Amino acid sequence: GAVVSQHPSRVICKSGTSVKIECRSLDFQATTMFWYRQFPKQSLMLMATSNEGSKATYEQGVEKDKFLINHASLTLSTLTVTSAHPEDSSFYICSARFPGSSGANVLTFGAGSRLTVL
């Protein structure tokens, strides 16, 4: 089955530093990956769509200069939280579309990365 590997699973950093989160599709190629953010006990909010070889598409209200997304290959997308502040503390989840036989948008999710900014 399709596997999306996300690393690190947990990261604690000081305010003002930058943190990079990696999302890899292990056994399939993903031209598109998605980055979600989830606050405690809340739903998932789409932050951006990561497109291989081109610029990411950000959702309204998401600061593109704070959340840098790079999709340099068909199996890797990275999210860098720049100059992190405590309000950036959250659970970040990536996902990739694995082609389903039914044609449905079968998203496979990474394990998530819990970011804590002190």
Binding site for another protein (CB under 8 A): 6, 32, 34, 41-46, 49, 93, 95, 97, 100, 102, 104-112, 114
**CA-closest candidate to residue 115, choices 8, 25, 42, 33:** 8
- Report in angstroms how near the CB of residue 106 gets to another protein at its nearest: 7
Nearer to another protein, 66 or 112 (CB): 112
Region of residue 66 (phi > 0: left; psi between -120 and 50: alpha; otherwise: beta): alpha
Return the ∠ at Cα 109 (arms to 104 and 113), rounded to 5°.
160
d(CA 65, CA 63): 5
Nearer to another protein, 36 or 78 (CB): 36
What values do phi and psi take at 86, rounded to 5? -50, -30
Nearer to another protein, 14 or 101 (CB): 101
Mention every residue, 6+ apart, whose C-beta is less than 8 A from residue 104: none
Nearer to another protein, 82 or 109 (CB): 109
- Report in angstroms how near the CB of residue 43 gets to another protein at its nearest: 5
